Amino acid sequence: MKRMSLRVIMCGALCALPALAQTAHQHHPPESAAEYARVLEDPERDGWQKPHEVILALKLTGQETVADIGSGTGYFANRLARHARRVFAVDIDARLLEISLKSAPGNVTPVLASTDNPRLPDGASDLIFFCDVVHHIENRAAYLDKVKQALKPGGRIVVIDFHKRELKIGPPVEMKIDRADMLREFEQAGFKLSEEQGFLPYQYYLVFSAAAAK
């Protein structure tokens, strides 16, 4: 097993809360990290999550630094690492980060975050990636301020999250964020929608850039 990088940033109470990378199949996290990992890596997920198409749509050149917030077992982080220069795998659960590192390429850097701070280096990320994560973040306005600080000039933020309606997968409707509400929150945080993809069956796929200063 690979040793966790010294660049892992320790937070105060390890594993006190469920990981940001909440399972798409249930809204109560499994009791063990191993069980959680099995759910997150369920082979059936590929059919609706379409990870290859999601990453191709990013049009990465191979030179970018990407931060996957709520990386969990590395479902996207380890795939993104094949298309980027460097990937920050960000999660609040050290156990999941340790599991993810077992199969992570060498250009993946784990970052142990807190629930209110991704703990990313300032101005280091070309792309910040959220998949099924934003609806778990409380006080999102303050959190997005920290996300903005982590972006390079001209950087992008990708948000993939579940449509706010009854679906056969995903969290309960009351936990979801409607697409229009997500747009409004990001606009209020100083971002603008620059692109949108429509190929995912259960989720919206939004790409934001920092809005020009007035």
pLDDT tens profile 123-135: 999 999 999 999 9
What local confidence, expressed as pLDDT, does residue 94 receive?
A: 93
- Letter string b/e over residues 5-32, b meaning 16 or more CB atoms within 10 A of that residue's CB: eeebbebeeeeeebbbbbbbeeeebeee
d(CA 4, CA 30): 23
pLDDT reading at 15 higher than 90: no
The structure's pTM equals 0.84
Query: Tens digit of pLDDT for each residue in 32-47?
Result: 666 667 667 778 899 9
For 145-163, the pLDDT digits (tens) are 999 999 999 999 999 999 9
Residue 212, pLDDT score = 67
Strands of the 151-162 sheet, one edge to the other: 108-112, 86-91, 65-69, 125-131, 151-162, 203-210, 191-197
- The pLDDT score that the predictor gives to residue 145 is 97
Domains of the chain: 33-210 (3.40.50.150)
pLDDT tier for residue 24 given thresholds of 50, 70 and 90? very low
